[in-house]
Amino acid sequence: MQPAQQLSEFMTAPVGLYVASRVFVYWCASAELYGFALWGRPDVADLRALTAILDVEIRPDVAPHASLVDLRRLVGVDEGAYETLVAYLGARQSAYQGVVTRQALLRPAGLPGAVVTGFYQVMEPPYPTQVHEDPEPALRWLGLAEPAPFVAELDAIVAEAMDEGIVARLGRVFVPPFAGITLEKAAATLGMSARSLQRRLQEENTTFQDEYNAAQVRAAQAALRDTDMKLTALALEVGCASLANFSAMFRRVTGESPSDYRARHRPGERDKRR
């Protein structure tokens, strides 16, 4: 697929083209397959821009087609943006009936995933739907026999549109509590395979474990500066199995102990170890 030179070009003849904005890419791979990827925390203006483009799918000359909605990179759901999308789709349900043959939704992790999964229960779309975490089985269900090359193409288009390195993107995945954030889960949240994530991190001269530990330390430093949280509780909060493991990791990354860091930033504080 190629980027459309202007939105009007896409709206007139979308096949083989895509358009990108601050938080989404909307694409038409073929007359039989449309879709979009949405990331970050889109606001009302973002959703209004997206829904204006969605009308391309219900033009009189558009053939029946499948749809892929990729929300794996979504990190938050703005209430106003959600209501904008609900209102748009509610007003066009009859127009979509018979035009969209089926739709697959790729859900994000955590609370945003629960919200978008429940979206279908609110809307009751007039076509078959399925929720997936992995794009390849989703695309097979939509009728694409060999989805792997297409997934790689889409991931590359979205990564370019997001215009940031993999370390910055991964940093948004690491939020307390850290327990349970694995390489595989982080990769899925970013919309790629674990192997691809490892390779991208290697290209930026780092590793998943290094970035995980760095994020743990950043969260711990903020708590040490700004709260009275005891070190044992803080260790669990940032995903360490014990105070000893937390202290060793903190010292390895920063060169000092958590208690020494707190003492430097909060003079007069006693060491809260228990």
Tell me the domain boundaries of the chain: 2-162, 164-274
CATH architecture designation of domain 2-162: 3-Layer(aba) Sandwich (3.40)
pLDDT tens, residue order, the chain (274 aa): 999 988 889 999 999 999 998 889 999 999 999 999 998 888 888 889 999 999 999 988 999 999 999 999 888 777 888 888 888 888 888 888 889 999 999 998 777 788 777 777 777 888 899 999 899 999 999 999 999 999 999 988 998 888 667 887 788 788 777 878 899 988 887 777 888 899 888 887 889 999 999 889 988 998 998 888 999 999 998 999 899 999 999 999 888 999 999 998 876 655 444 4
The topology (CATH level 3) of 164-274 is Arc Repressor Mutant, subunit A (1.10.10)
**Phi, psi (5° rounding) for residue 15?**
-60, 125
Whole-angstrom distance, CA of residue 236 vs CA of residue 142:
42
pTM: 0.61
**Structure token digits, residue 189:** 């949240």
